[in-house]
Structure 1
Amino acid sequence: MAPRGLIPAAPARAGLDAGELAALVREVDALPARGWCGGAVVAAGRGPYLAVEHAAGWAVRWTAAGARAADPEPVRTDTPFDLASLTKLVTAVLTVRQVERGGLGLDAPVARYLPEFGAAGKDRVTVRDLLTHTSGLAPELPFHDGHGWDLLWRQPLTRTGTCYSDLGFLALGRLLERVTGARLDALVRAEVTGPLSMAHTGFGPVPHAAATEDQRRPRAKADRGPLRGVVHDENAHALGGVTGHAGLFGTARDLAVLCRALLSGGGPVLRPDSVALLLDAPGLGFAVDQPWFMGELAGRGAAGHTGFTGTSLVLDRATGTFLVLLATTVHPVRPARPDSRPRAAAATRLARAVRGPLPE
């Protein structure tokens, strides 16, 4: 069955060049052999058309660091991946949905809805500040060392300007639960994945997901051993696996459906003006025009995000294009120096594939 809102189609029907998309597929095919990732799935298209859906490499290539699997398991187009920080995009959608309904004010203090957050001088931090990473919160805290939520409530502001922070989206997840009275996983199902028929997206555990890391200190923040189907992020794991900054698993086609919904005005999840709040610069949750992972799609208002496990998503309202690249760059261990060049190269291939206006 085709994903809701998407029509599998030849590149020409989508106004895309077949040669550029063939090159995109070849380059993704080469990534596991190069050692950039264990496995990858790419989905790309334009408007309602899904022109590329391709898998390369292995869902499980190593049983542990340095121990190659005797029978590696190939990745498939419907293999779920740990989405890592792409979770933040769904949290942002849920937050703007509550703003749309009048349950939240973007410029209202977070402490109005979540009083414990206001401790340690955080009483003036707004919902918008959390969404734009301008709250002054540090990037992260060591929940993985046995701490609970009180560690965040006691945390003072330590930064100025823009500072990417997992803590802001951790707080947003709790804020959404407080305002709605529902758990975050239930909210995601009711408000996003259910209405969009994203049947393969949700919080773990997901036993058949692509494996991530043999997680051990000192390269990681915790000693958990080989991970498959449980959240990779150490802090999300320590807080129960259902958080606003990480924890979702999903497939490339499900995320392509989300891209299509946003590109077509948000229905049935958001109104067009709410989509504009998310995607217009500087973006709410979404990063805007970032060439380091968007390649040549950046420059006209492209929006998206990346995830630590190797995931990325880009959508471009100017051309109607979308690109989802899910990969396991941490399999079997995280790289010493992350490399986003393959993400940018894939986005550039899609940008160069655009031929004329979007077909009707």
Structure 2
Amino acid sequence: MTASGDHATGGPGRWWGGVVYPECAKEPEEPGAQDASDLADTFCRLGNAVISPREVDPARVAMNADSLAAVDDFILSALADSAASGAALAVVRRGQLVRLRGYGRLDWDPDASPVTPSSIFDMASLTKVVGTTSAVVILIQRGLISLDDRVVDHLDWWDEGDPAKSRVTIRQLLLHRAGLPPFRRFFLEMEGRAAYEDAIGALPLDHPPGERTVYSDIGLMTAAFIVETVTGMALDDFLRAEVWRPLGMADTNFTPDPALWDRVATTELDEDYRGLHVHGIAHDENAYAIGGVAGHAGLFSSARDLAVFAQMMLDRGAAAPCVADAASGLPCHRPRFAPVSIFGQGWVDRITRRQSPESTRALGWDTPSARSSAGDYFSARSFGHTGYTGTSLWIDPTQQLAVVLLTNRVNPTRDNRKHIPLRRGVHDRVARAIMDTPPRLREGPPEPGRR
């Protein structure tokens, strides 16, 4: 399968090549045999995967090694069936990395770099939770906004197109209950933040606020506008200062530097809008047109960074000091020399619980539906989110388990749907690898109505 040279041209990236990873040592090195500062960026090849030597023996956290090997085989089989050109996986249990590896390549081009734990993927809608929701909660903790503030308390232009919008609250934005449409193809007519503010301000609601749940990009775009207005900072600058840098998530940002494009997965062959094979810039057209930094999409990150974020969520908003050594197995990219607190006591639980029997939605986050991308064995208390490009993050606090699965399934076309069984299959197989508290098929409240 290839997308190169057929139609659209002019993608901004190119493959520099030359990366060859050594075969992994047959016997693990003694703890301390490698300098800790080297291991964050040290990888080796094991079969058809590129892995981190920071993975621990699965038995250490009561997981079955053979079952996890079956996860590897399942992913490789899906890639061979064109689910994506490549994938990255992180599996964390009880604070230990049992999987941190990459499969396939960053593009169908045979010269493309292999996927590694440091490969950078377009997060798409994971931006909504890892980025925008985090920023909103930080401002609430500081008393700068509240969930029940009206949007117009902070954005006086927001209700220009519909007086009913004056009743919409920040809580309703995060719950996708503001009455907004799912999206609009603004990018065909405009670019830049000012133009988007004018268009969103003039947009009428589809439904009265609070009446129904309709997943909306526009709601999270609006939440980001609030963050930027209240802080006086661009969303990416605020998140870098308050989340990425304190946690040591050095791969995570909007608009990756072109020097990093050899590590960035290619997304769609965009013939209709940009006329290029999208690489190193936001796949989402509205995120691209607004300037690359948006509340609903546009974030880029890696499996190793999202493992750090997931562990912070499992630790209820805090992160312990860490170094990227072989002995601890703790998710860690750049060292943390002191404890870090991102969310205060009770906030992780508050934003990740289903808020209504009418919907699976939590505050920003989602919870499992009957046919969830989390599969059938993550508990009803699990929370997560997916991204249109083929990314997902699911966390099950009852099992102290997190799974990061990153793919570029939209390469070369968004019509590819093979990532759907891939996601479910990976999560089911990971969950069934647990030996000490084997999960059961998920039971929960009656399935709410969803879009």
| TM-score normalised by length of structure 2 | 0.74
- Counterpart CA distance in 2 for 1:133 and 1:341 is 26
Counterpart of 1:95, as a letter, is: V
How far apart, CA to CA, are the structure 1 residues paired with 2:224 and 2:430?
A: 33
Q: 1:143–1:239: 8 Å Cα contact kept in structure 2?
A: no
Find out whether 1:152 has 2:200 as its counterpart. Answer: yes
Q: Secondary structure of the residue that 1:294 maps to in structure 2?
A: coil
Q: In the alignment, what sits opposite 1:99? A: 140
Do structure 1's residue 55 and structure 2's residue 69 form an aligned pair? no
Structure 1 pair 53/349, CA: closer, same or farther in 2 (3 Å)? same
Work out whether residues 8 and 50 of structure 1, in 8 Å CA contact, stay in contact via their aligned partners in 2.
yes
Rounded Cα–Cα distance in structure 1 between residues aligned with 2:426 and 2:169: 36
- 2:166 is aligned, of 99, 123, 141, to 123
> How big is each residue's C-alpha offset from its partner over 1:15-72, in whole Å with a ceiling of 9 and x where there is no partner?
21212211111111222211111110011021210100121111121xxxxxxx3534
Residues 1:124 and 1:338: Cα distance change in structure 2 (over 3 Å): farther
Q: Any idea what the Cα deviations from partners look like across 1:252-279, whole Å, max 9, x if unmatched?
A: 0100110000101101211131111221
2:119 to 79, 82, 93: 79
* Preserved CA contact (<8 Å) 1:113 1:179: yes
Decide whether the 8 Å contact of 1:292 with 1:340 is kept in 2: no
Output the CA distance in 2 between the equivalents of 1:269 and 1:224: 40
Any residues of structure 2 matched to 1:134-173 within 5 Å, and which?
Answer: 134-147=177-190, 148-149=195-196, 150-159=198-207, 160-173=211-224
- Give the number of the structure whose residues are more often helix, by fraction: 1
Output one character per residue of 1:144-186: Cα deviation in whole Å (capped at 9) or x when no partner: 1123221111111103400000000100111000011111010
SS at match of 1:76: coil
Structure 2 distance, partners of 1:316, 1:116, is 40
Alignment of 1:5-84 (within 5 A): 8-61=55-108, 69=109, 71-84=111-124
Unaligned runs of 5+ in 1: 62-68
Aligned residue pair count = 345
Match of 1:65 in 2: none
**Are residue 279 (structure 1) and residue 352 (structure 2) matched?**
yes
Alignment-mate amino acid for residue 139 of structure 2:
Q
- Work out whether residues 193 and 201 of structure 1, in 8 Å CA contact, stay in contact via their aligned partners in 2: yes
**Secondary structure at 1:249's aligned position in 2?**
strand
- In 1, Cα distance between equivalents of 2:308 and 2:420: 24
After superposition, the C-alpha distances for 1:84-139 in whole angstroms (9 at most, x for unaligned) are 10000121111111111111110111110111113212101000100010110001
Q: Give the AA of the match of 2:268.
A: E
Answer yes or no: is 1:294 the counterpart of 2:374: yes
Amino acid at match of 1:329: R
DSSP-derived class of the 1:270 partner: coil
Q: Distance in 2 between matches of 1:351 and 1:70?
A: 33
Aligned structure 1 segments of 4 or more residues deviating by more than 3 angstroms: 336-339
Per the alignment, residue 154 of structure 2 pairs with 113
For 1:145, the aligned partner's letter is L
Note if 1:261 corresponds to 2:312.
yes
Return closer, same or farther for 1:115/1:297 CA change in 2, 3 Å cut-off: farther
In 1: Cα distance, 2:380 partner to 2:226 partner: 32
In structure 1, give the amino acid aligned to 2:406: L
Letter in 2 for 1:100: Q
CA gap of 1:49–1:162, structure 2 versus 1, over 3 A, is same
Contact kept in structure 2, 1:106 and 1:128, CA below 8 Å: yes
1:296 shift after superposition = 2.5
Counterpart CA distance in 2 for 1:140 and 1:176 is 20
1:312-323 equivalence runs, <5 A: 312-323=392-403
Q: Which amino acid aligns with 1:78?
A: S
CA–CA separation in structure 1 for the residues paired with 2:417 and 2:428: 22
Matched, 1:190 2:241: yes
1:205-242 Cα offsets, whole Å, 9 max, x none, are: 3423111111122xxxx233111110100000010000
2:276 to 225, 233, 244: 225
Percent identical: 35
Residue type at the aligned position of 2:128:
K
- TM-superposed deviation, 1:336: 5.3
Q: Quick check: 1:170–1:245 contact (8 Å CA) kept in 2? A: yes
The code of the aligned residue for 1:94 comes to A
Q: Residue 339 of structure 1: CA displacement?
A: 4.5
User: For residues 76 and 261 of structure 1, what CA distance do their matches in structure 2 show?
Assistant: 22
Higher Rg: 2
Partners of 1:154 and 1:257 in 2: CA distance = 39
Structure 2 CA distance, aligned partners of 1:357 and 1:341? Answer: 25
User: Whole-Å Cα distance in 1 between the matches of residues 416 and 59 of structure 2?
Assistant: 40
